[in-house]
Amino acid sequence: MAVRLIVRTFSELCITAGTVIVLFVVYVLHWTGVQAESATAGQIATLEREWVERPVPGAAPSAPPSPKPYTTGRGIAVMYIPRLGEGWEWPVLEGTSAAVLKKGLGHYAATARLGETGNFSVAGHRRTYGDPFKDFPRLRPGDAVVLTDGTTWFTYRIATKPYRTVPTDVGVIDPVPRPLRKNAAAFDGPGRYLTLTTCEPEWGSSHRLIAWAHLDATRPVTQGKPPALAG
């Protein structure tokens, strides 16, 4: 009798554990994606509304106004990477906290502003929350990374194949990227750079995948989409 009770109790525990595991997998694979789709769409809509409501400038001032500092958790720009899919479109927000990365890509707060001299550095999930960088290893030299802040299109070009490193390799987001491995980056002086970072392996976080790019062209939004997106 006691043995039967133990076996039944153990079986019930296994069923319960199995149910919990299945629910967790569904949450990771599906529900976080649903949450991300809603959050990112909301962030892009907010940015586009702000851009439409932005006041039209009058006569050119004697000195251009200083740009407003980025606000943690607020949208900065929208990013497009044609290599990762025709509909690949993600908002870039200020900060790289877990809460921010649930809503889109995150800009490393200590790095350069979009389009300016230095290294505009961005992090994103490889998996979960919409899998923005799931296909990160597909990036190749020459690929376009296009961003807009509502007034200007910025087209960066990938300079190197994705580089695998460790989380402590913080030199990859320096103003001039300086990774641990010699000759891993193609940059040897000041410029207008972009660094993309994500987790490696695909379902882990023991390492990082890095891709560097340099600013190739800018274009006012009034002139339409840049060539990298026009096709």
Cis peptide before 55 (omega within 30 of 0): no
Position 204: which residue type? G
pTM for the structure as a whole: 0.83
Spatial separation of the C-alpha atoms in residues 195 and 114, rounded to whole Å: 11
- 104 sits in the region (left: phi over 0; alpha: psi -120 to 50; else beta) called left
Domain ranges of the chain: 71-230
pLDDT at res. 145: 98
Q: Which residues of the chain have pLDDT under 70?
A: 1-36, 55-65, 183, 186, 231
Active site amino acids: 125, 199, 208
pLDDT at res. 55: 64
Residue 78 phi/psi, 5-degree rounding, is: -120, 135
Q: What is the CATH number of domain 71-230?
A: 2.40.260.10
Spatial separation of the C-alpha atoms in residues 221 and 211, rounded to whole Å: 26
The secondary element (H helix, E strand) that includes residue 22 is: helix 2-26
* Whether 78 contacts 44, CB under 8 Å: yes
Q: Where are the beta strands (DSSP E) in the chain?
A: 75-80, 89-94, 105-107, 118-123, 144-148, 152-158, 163-165, 192-200, 207-220
Spatial separation of the C-alpha atoms in residues 178 and 168, rounded to whole Å: 13
Position 176: which residue type? V
pLDDT at res. 82: 97
Tens of pLDDT, residues 59-106: 455 555 678 899 999 999 999 999 999 999 999 999 999 999 999 999
Position 125: which residue type? H
- SS3 of 193, please? strand
Report in angstroms the alpha-carbon separations of 55 from 47, 58, 60, 68, 111. 14, 9, 14, 15, 28
